[in-house]
Amino acid sequence: MNLYELTIKEAASLLGKKEISSKELTRSVIDRINAVENKIDAFITITEELAMKQAEEADAAISKGDIMPLTGIPMAVKDLLCLKGIKTTCGSKFLENFVPPYNATVMEKLQKQGAVIVGKLNMDEFAMGSTNENSGFKPVRNPWDLSRIPGGSSGGSAASVAADMCLASLGSDTGGSIRQPASHCGIVGLKPTYGRVSRFGLVAFASSLDQIGPLTKNVSDCAAVMNAISGYDPKDSTSVPKDVPDYTACLGQDIAGMKIGIPVEYQSSEGLDPDVENAVSKAVKTLEGIGAECVEVSLPHTSYAVAAYYVIAPSEASSNLARYDGVRYGIRDKDQTDLIKMYRSSRSDGFGQEVQRRIIIGTYCLSAGYYDAYYGKASEVRTLITQDFEKAFETCDAIVSPVAPTPAFPIGQNSDDPLTLYLSDIFTLSANLAGIPGMSVPCGFSRDGLPVGLQIMGKHFQEEKLLKIAHSYEQATDFHKKKPSL
Ligand code: GLN
């Protein structure tokens, strides 16, 4: 077996026993990146020098017996997490040369654990998208079929893990951007509860929805990364001062008697691919087979989720992105002598089409006279969606559903049709609107051999329950063991 194929748990055990060094492991991962990156385009920056230095430091720490679960483990992160001294583009030409002078809190936490960072991952510009075709640099390709999208916006984060170009990665999820690419690439992805992981140093898209989370090869690695990145941070006023449990402790616990909710509204969802439907209903049977009790629940406001999200997210984005004016950040059109013209042309040159579209929608929704009709109304709908979940969780421990209505589709198929893409977020957006945790675990393959994910959602701060269910399910199946041939 090649070292780059290891899971975090396997690698950590070999590192602990000193059977391998982090330098060997990191070398193997970098060689793997060099071998397959031209097919996938998962990275915006490969940080080989930094990685080899961190691997050496990790080996020194391990030789002193100073080892934590991520010490010496090669990981990569979505290119919207500030890493001091390393270019952080957020997938945008606007920030093509932006080098942050500070670290995101999650980067500090990974470094404290002794993790090795092999690179910054490709993504849809400012995390807006679900196919990675909105990257300001190049689209990412799905390792299972290079002509298809990997999902998005954390497409690089998912494709890199699926293609063994890192042992695990971090992504961000505003409306599904961890879960949906994890589903399309056949790996595990978790969007934590809003406030569980600090957003400090994450380039903001829609601040009331954004959360950082892990993408990993299996559930136990997901729990290990959650342990490392979770917790209160005084630098993020929305992070919650709540103790972080040991997320690995619940793995292996019996799920017999747990109640799993199946939303009736999701079953009748238009456009649900029969292969996805089939894989998800088989997954439900498997859960029943291992002792869970499945019950019907209702989320009556589901059909309003897409509309509410696509008012709230662009509104917040239009405000967050106002800072990119050519003065303080990123590129500037130096030929302009007039200030307003300089703002206008810098923003027109620096932002891609989808980002400009959302800024226009958001600015419109927030403008005087329209605010109540759009942003105000969408916020009311958001409350109703949150209440739907509260009510549903009175009768179940977790809710399962598809992640995306279809498996990964060909690159270019929907790129001129933003509405179709927005509608494809139907199963994932509600968790962000309600702030609850949600994860994706591999649950099968389409007839074309493309991975399909099962979504599991839970109450606020009940990530442990999700991990426990996902782990039991994973033990009963072997979808997570299959790898794309590259
Ligand atoms: N696809 C959604 C969007 O385009 C979600 C993106 C995300 O979660 N960052 O907004």
Q: Which tens digits make up the pLDDT trace of 84-121?
A: 999 999 999 999 999 999 999 999 999 999 999 999 99
- Pocket residue to mutate for ligand 1, from 425, 426, 427, 429, most atoms within 8 A of Cβ: 425
Q: Which of 153, 230, 446, 472 is catalytic?
A: 153
Q: Is 145 in the pocket of ligand 1 (CB under 6 A)?
A: no
Q: Which of 190, 49, 45 is nearest to 123 (CA)?
A: 45
CA of 128 to the centre of ligand 1 (A): 5
Q: Which of 12, 42, 197, 64 is nearest to 120 (CA)?
A: 42
| Residue 368 structure tokens | 């005087």
Q: Among 9, 78, 109, 120, which one carries the catalytic annotation?
A: 78
Judge whether residue 448 has pLDDT over 90.
yes
Residues 12-28 have pLDDT tens digits of 999 999 999 999 999 99
Q: Is 177 a catalytic residue?
A: yes
- Quote the pLDDT of residue 267: 79
What domain range includes position 277? 1-486
Q: What is the mean pLDDT of the chain?
A: 97
Average pLDDT over residues 63-90: 98
Contacts 24+ apart (CB under 8 A), 227-234: 227/69, 228/68, 228/69, 228/70, 228/109, 228/110, 228/113, 228/115, 229/106, 229/109, 229/110, 229/170, 229/197, 230/192, 230/196, 230/197, 231/109, 231/197, 231/198, 232/198, 233/105, 233/198, 233/200
Active site residue 319: no
**Pick from 107, 108, 113, 43: nearest CA to 72:** 113
Tell me the average pLDDT across 355-369: 96
127 lines ligand 1 (CB under 6 A): yes
Cβ atoms of residues 311 and 374 within 8 Å: yes
Q: Which amino acid is at 103?
A: N
Per-residue pLDDT at 172: 98
Asked if pLDDT for residue 212 goes beyond 80, the answer is yes
Any residues with CB less than 8 A from the CB of 149 and at least 6 apart, and which?
131, 132, 133, 139, 140, 141, 142, 155, 184, 408, 409, 410, 411
Please say if 78 is a catalytic residue: yes
Residue 400 is inside which H or E element, if any?
strand 398-402
β-partners of residue 171 are: 213
Residue of 220, 166, 181 whose CA lies nearest to 453: 181
Q: Residue 49 — very low, low, confident or very high, per pLDDT cuts 50/70/90?
A: very high
For position 477, which CATH number holds? 3.90.1300.10
User: Of all atoms in ligand 1, which is nearest to the CA of residue 358?
Assistant: 10
Helices (H), 239-335: 264-267, 274-289, 305-320
Is residue 256 scored above 80 in pLDDT?
yes
Determine the pLDDT at residue 329. Answer: 85
Between CA 439 and CA 191 the distance in angstroms is 6
pLDDT for 270 equals: 79
Instruction: Specify the amino acid at residue 72.
Output: G
3-class DSSP state for residue 145?
Answer: strand
pLDDT digits (tens, 9 = 90+) for 284-305: 999 999 999 999 999 999 999 9
Question: What tokens appear for 122 in the block?
Answer: 């490709």
Mean of the pLDDT values across residues 234-260?
Answer: 97
Supply the pLDDT for residue 141: 98
Contact 166, 116 (CB under 8 A): no
pLDDT band at 37 (very low <50, low <70, confident <90, very high): very high
pLDDT confidence bin for 470, thresholds 50/70/90? very high
pLDDT level of residue 269 (50, 70, 90 thresholds): confident
pLDDT at 215 over 90: yes
The pLDDT value given to residue 481: 94
* Domains held by the chain: number: 1
Best mutation site among 124, 419, 455 for ligand 1 pocket (most ligand atoms within 8 Å of CB): 124
In terms of Cα–Cα distance, which of 430, 371, 377, 329 is closest to 126? 329
For the cut 80, the answer to whether the pLDDT of residue 167 exceeds it is yes
What pLDDT does residue 183 have?
98
pLDDT tens figures, 400-418:
999 999 999 999 999 999 9
Q: Is the pLDDT of residue 155 over 90?
A: yes
Report how many helices (DSSP H) and strands (DSSP E) the chain contains, helices first. 16, 11
Q: Whose CA is nearest to atom 5 of ligand 1?
A: 175
Q: How confident is the model at residue 1 (pLDDT cuts 50, 70, 90)?
A: confident
Structure confidence at residue 388 (pLDDT): 98
- Phi, psi at 250, each rounded to 5°: -85, -10
Q: Is the dihedral of CA 366, 367, 370, 376 positive or negative?
A: positive
Confirm or reject: Cβ of 128 under 6 Å from ligand 1: yes
